Structure 1
């Protein structure tokens, strides 16, 4: 992959930047800006070189129809404040056009015609074979953004040469999507810890380093006190912690305890013992942001499904497109 640092950007160069702008919006107000904040170094670099970034991406799942509440116009005040009015252009939600999710050739050509250079700065969407991730790269010189590069470098550190013991914590509710990464880390990690719902759905043999919740149940809304203490004891031995997925139904205050306790313990280990902690996924970010500790981990990956797929397969469709 070619890095943005090497892109031939000069005065007036139009740069199509596929951005991760899928942020929560309520009553036309952005609730949490973490993904947007991580775009700024790439966008500012392009502007400093004299280029004009065309910010492109999606918000939500509009399924090919216009939905006012998912319009990118709600992001304009943020970008005006952060990079300056009239220093960029922003395209409407790409998923308002059904061709975006079909990796459509004609749509790829339409998007490519708007710019001179393409930059992928959306790691979180790069497990999708969509037009703005894959198809467009056939028609423009293509580069990887700074944040995307950092995502790969950090996750490679966890998979190829982590400081051990390596403890992996997996939450969420869908075992099927997590299974490839669980299987991989059972081979690599010292311990893999599963929340209650994933534990209840685990039907294979239980290897020695796989730790299930004590209150395993498909109806569980959180891990119990006994599991919290068990998980804390295990992660206290860690030098590297990888965490994907909240441990309970964090949206409700009564079910955020497990996530809160393990998050606070991980932060404590990070700050006091120098443990390298990596967390990722939209729900994980939302949960720890709710707790007010998002910036206290070593690294927060913007990818959920993309992070899990990259950890399992060491590549993504978006990466392959940039390499071809």
Structure 2
């Protein structure tokens, strides 16, 4: 799937509509983490340097009420982007209408305009989120070209990505191009041994990913809450640990067909309560008490995982190994993160979400080949599901 990139289109003097992912965390009207804004800078700067008129679209939060609108304006993002670009970024408080149209028409070459939160349109029948064809066509009428640089929303068909792309010549931006290259090479043409590490709460959330990676990886390490369904499928007592009873037959089938390709924890950190202040112990997976629950993998498990990883040349990690947000149950995730970070000559990819948060908190961003900006989108890519925001872009 060879999609057009920025280098395949002529942007000089053109009004280029760009879907970016400025869905940044906010507190009291202030941005608490601007990583997503910084991730879009290469594409925006390229367009500025090549004399395009740049019109940016993004969502922020979910808009269900007028109060949501008041709390999720993109105006603070426009101010932060101005600082990062060291130039004025114009802001339109409208998502459609004469004021927006005039702001776009008056934009100079090299100028940048940020349009108000696209999900403001969701108050009227979810027109953005349901890819209303009229809205996509209207937004497309504002420009000459469309660039999708919001990987984090490519797994959704919205008016601001698929809708605009359906009506304009289009390409992917540098961020989406980078995401597709790293994830594509890792999944479709990995240097071996290829080890996948999957964590998180539920098997049901990652069935397709597990099945897809079992067909492609040499080893699949399974941790987090979903490991207990696999341990139960092996006939082990898992106490009050997170368990999906209806997924036990599937886990048993996967264990039978995958053989030693699946690697599970050998010990776990158990607790008598789901709390950071609970009483804890470390036990073998064969010795989990009936009235305790597993909330992290133990030190022996980390050694097993390190041994599996030591010769890996490609690693994809998605999902924490335990209840990472509680300090008492974060060691498993930290151990896996450090084991990957210390690999030499390996391509190491973190698939967004909680795993990316862990890497950032531990200060290991520079130790990984690639940290995905889209948790849901990267999961869909890993499971082989189409990304509408990518498939709608013009082929080369």
User: Is TM-score (shorter-chain normalized) higher than 0.5?
Assistant: yes
1:252-305 CA-to-partner distances (Å, cap 9, x unmatched) read 322221111111121111xxx211101121222222111121232011111211
Instruction: Mark the CA change 1:296 to 1:31 in structure 2 (over 3 Å): closer, same or farther.
Output: farther
Please tell me whether the aligned partners of residues 169 and 394 of structure 2 are also in contact (alpha carbons under 8 angstroms): no
- 1:49 corresponds to: 50
Matched, 1:146 2:170: no
Deviation at 1:59, TM superposition (A): 1.9
CA distance, structure 2, for counterparts of residue 15 and residue 64 of structure 1: 31
Matched, 1:6 2:19: no
Q: Secondary structure at the match of 2:337?
A: helix
Q: Secondary structure at the match of 1:251?
A: coil
When Rg is computed on C-alpha atoms for both structures, the one with the higher figure is 2
Matched, 1:233 2:257: no
- 1:85 corresponds to: 88
Deviation at 1:30, TM superposition (A): 2.3
Matched, 1:96 2:96: no
Q: Secondary structure at the match of 1:169?
A: strand
CA distance, structure 1, for counterparts of residue 206 and residue 183 of structure 2: 16
Instruction: Mark the CA change 1:67 to 1:172 in structure 2 (over 3 Å): closer, same or farther.
Output: farther
Please, which of 259, 262, 268 is the counterpart of residue 210 of structure 1? 262
Please tell me whether the aligned partners of residues 200 and 224 of structure 2 are also in contact (alpha carbons under 8 angstroms): no
Q: Secondary structure at the match of 1:102?
A: coil
- 1:129 corresponds to: 157
- 1:170 corresponds to: 198
CA distance, structure 2, for counterparts of residue 224 and residue 244 of structure 1: 19
Deviation at 1:103, TM superposition (A): 0.7
TM-score by length of 1: 0.92
Q: Secondary structure at the match of 2:296?
A: coil
Deviation at 1:166, TM superposition (A): 0.8
- 2:188 corresponds to: 160
- 1:36 corresponds to: 37
Please, which of 329, 333, 341 is the counterpart of residue 255 of structure 1? 329
CA distance, structure 1, for counterparts of residue 293 and residue 156 of structure 2: 31
Please tell me whether the aligned partners of residues 197 and 219 of structure 1 are also in contact (alpha carbons under 8 angstroms): no
Q: Secondary structure at the match of 2:60?
A: coil
CA distance, structure 1, for counterparts of residue 349 and residue 65 of structure 2: 34
Deviation at 1:26, TM superposition (A): 2.1
- Tell me the matched-pair count: 320
Q: Secondary structure at the match of 1:16?
A: strand
The structure with the greater share of residues assigned to helix is 1
Deviation at 1:46, TM superposition (A): 0.7
- 2:59 corresponds to: 58
CA distance, structure 1, for counterparts of residue 366 and residue 5 of structure 2: 26
- 1:298 corresponds to: 369
CA distance, structure 2, for counterparts of residue 306 and residue 157 of structure 1: 16
Q: Secondary structure at the match of 1:133?
A: helix
Please tell me whether the aligned partners of residues 166 and 191 of structure 1 are also in contact (alpha carbons under 8 angstroms): yes
1:202-224 CA-to-partner distances (Å, cap 9, x unmatched) read 42221221112233799543222
Please tell me whether the aligned partners of residues 224 and 323 of structure 2 are also in contact (alpha carbons under 8 angstroms): no
CA distance, structure 1, for counterparts of residue 135 and residue 156 of structure 2: 16
CA distance, structure 1, for counterparts of residue 121 and residue 62 of structure 2: 11
Matched, 1:283 2:307: no
Aligned-residue Cα RMSD (Å) equals: 2.0
Deviation at 1:120, TM superposition (A): 0.4
CA distance, structure 1, for counterparts of residue 356 and residue 77 of structure 2: 19
Structure 2 regions of 5+ residues with no counterpart?
90-110, 231-247, 269-284
TM-score by length of 2: 0.76
Please tell me whether the aligned partners of residues 171 and 394 of structure 2 are also in contact (alpha carbons under 8 angstroms): no
Structure 1 regions of 5+ residues with no counterpart?
none
